[in-house]
C-alpha cells in the first residue's frame, strides 16, 4: 500500500497500556513536533498487548480497554491512532519490514521513541537500528528519555503493582487520572438492597489487571453523565455472607433508580480498607455505615 496522497506524519510507537503521564508526555512531544512540520500527530499501537501474545504466562493484565486507550491517546494530543493487530506474524516482522510499511502507508517523516524502545523480530529494532533504517527510508529519529514523577517511576508495571496493592491513590498519581472499571450493570444476589446498600454489579473485562479486594471511595459515571456521581465500591468475595465468586459492586450515594442493563464506569479514588469477614450481618452493616462516612469525607475533599 502506498502513502495516502499528501499524508505526512510524525509518529511514536508502543503498547501504551494505561496511557500514563509518561505516555502523555511523549504524545505531547509528538504533537508539538508535528505542528512544527505541518504534519499529522500519529500514535501507532497494538492490540492485543504484545506481552499477551508473546508471553501469556507473564501477562499481568491490561490497565485499560482498547477503547479507553484510543480515547486517552487522542485526548493527549494524537490526531490519529493507528491500531495494528498484534499476531505471531506481526511479531515475526523484521524492523526493516515493519518500518517500511509504516513509512509507505503513513508518510512518516519523524519518529519519537523511548531510549529503551525496540521492535521487530527478536527486538532487533533498537534506537540505533531504527535510526539506520530511517536514513534509508527518509525519516529522522528522536530519542525521548524516560520521565519520572518525583521518586516514582512512570511505567505501566508500577501502576499494575499499585493496583494490585490496593493503592488507588498512587495509581491515579501515575496515570494522571483514576483507574477505571467499566461494564454493564448485571443482576447480582440483591443482598445490598436488602441491607440498605443497593449496588450496581459489573463484570470487568476478563484480561483487566488484578484488583485488590476492599472498599473504595469512587466516582461513578452513567452513560450521559456530565459530572461524576459519588460512590463507594466493594471488590471481593463477600466472606461474611459467603455468596461465592468475586464481585465488583458499586453503591451510588444518594441515588435511587434501576441501573440494570445500563453502562457504568467506576473510577477508584482511594481504598478505605481491605476486605474483611465480620461475625454477623449486623456487624457488617454497622461497618458499612462507617465505610460510607469515610467515603463521603474523601469525596468531599475531591470536591
Q: Which residues are catalytic?
A: 249
**Residue 174 contacts residue 165 (beta carbons within 8 Å):** no
Alpha helices in the chain (DSSP H): 21-37, 50-54, 66-76, 88-92, 95-106, 127-137, 156-164, 168-175, 191-194, 281-302
C-alpha distances (whole Å) from 61 to each of 65, 165, 174, 232 are 10, 14, 17, 24
Q: Which residues is 81 bridged to in the sheet?
A: 43
Residue 159: phi and psi, rounded to 5, are -70, -40
Cα end-to-end distance, the chain, whole Å: 51
Q: Cβ of 229: how many Cβ atoms within 10 Å?
A: 18
* Residue of 164, 130, 157 lying closest to 44 (CA atoms): 130
Residue linked to cell 501502576: 159
C-alpha distances (whole Å) from 34 to each of 14, 42, 101, 289 are 18, 9, 20, 53
Residue linked to cell 533504517: 133
Cell readout for 87 is 499476531
* Residue of 28, 26, 21, 53 lying closest to 175 (CA atoms): 21
Q: Cβ of 195: how many Cβ atoms within 10 Å?
A: 13
Amino acid at each position: 500500500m502506498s502513502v495516502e496522497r499528501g499524508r505526512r506524519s510524525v509518529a511514536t510507537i508502543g503498547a501504551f497500556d494505561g496511557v500514563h503521564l509518561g505516555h502523555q508526555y511523549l504524545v505531547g512531544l509528538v504533537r508539538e513536533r508535528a505542528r512544527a512540520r505541518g504534519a499529522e500527530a500519529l500514535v501507532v499501537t497494538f492490540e492485543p498487548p504484545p506481552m499477551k501474545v508473546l508471553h501469556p504466562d507473564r501477562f499481568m493484565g491490561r490497565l485499560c480497554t482498547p477503547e479507553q486507550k484510543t480515547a486517552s491517546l487522542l485526548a493527549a494530543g494524537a490526531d490519529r491512532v493507528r491500531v495494528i493487530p498484534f499476531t505471531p506474524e506481526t511479531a515475526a516482522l523484521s524492523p526493516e519490514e515493519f518500518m517500511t510499511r509504516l513509512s509507505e502507508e503513513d508518510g512518516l517523516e519523524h519518529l519519537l521513541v523511548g531510549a529503551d524502545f525496540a521492535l521487530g523480530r527478536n527486538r532487533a529494532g533498537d534506537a540505533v537500528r531504527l535510526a539506520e533504517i530511517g536514513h534509508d527510508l527518509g525519516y529522522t529519529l528522536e530519542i525521548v528519555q524516560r520521565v519520572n514523577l518525583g521518586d516514582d517511576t512512570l511505567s505501566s508495571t508500577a501502576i499494575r503493582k499499585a493496583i494490585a496493592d490496593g493503592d488507588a491513590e498512587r495509581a491515579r498519581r501515575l496515570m494522571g487520572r483514576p483507574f477505571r472499571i467499566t461494564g454493564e450493570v448485571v443482576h447480582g444476589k440483591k443482598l445490598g438492597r436488602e441491607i440498605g446498600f443497593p449496588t450496581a454489579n459489573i463484570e470487568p473485562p476478563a484480561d483487566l489487571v488484578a484488583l485488590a479486594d476492599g472498599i473504595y471511595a469512587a466516582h461513578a459515571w452513567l452513560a450521559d453523565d456530565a459530572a461524576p456521581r459519588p460512590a463507594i465500591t466493594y471488590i471481593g468475595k463477600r466472606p461474611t455472607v459467603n455468596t461465592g465468586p468475586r464481585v465488583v459492586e458499586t453503591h451510588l450515594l444518594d441515588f435511587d433508580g434501576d441501573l440494570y442493563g445500563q453502562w457504568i464506569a467506576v473510577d477508584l479514588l482511594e481504598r478505605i480498607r481491605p476486605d474483611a469477614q465480620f461475625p454477623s450481618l449486623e456487624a457488617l452493616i454497622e461497618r458499612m455505615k462507617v465505610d460510607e462516612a469515610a467515603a463521603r469525607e474523601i469525596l468531599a475533599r475531591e470536591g
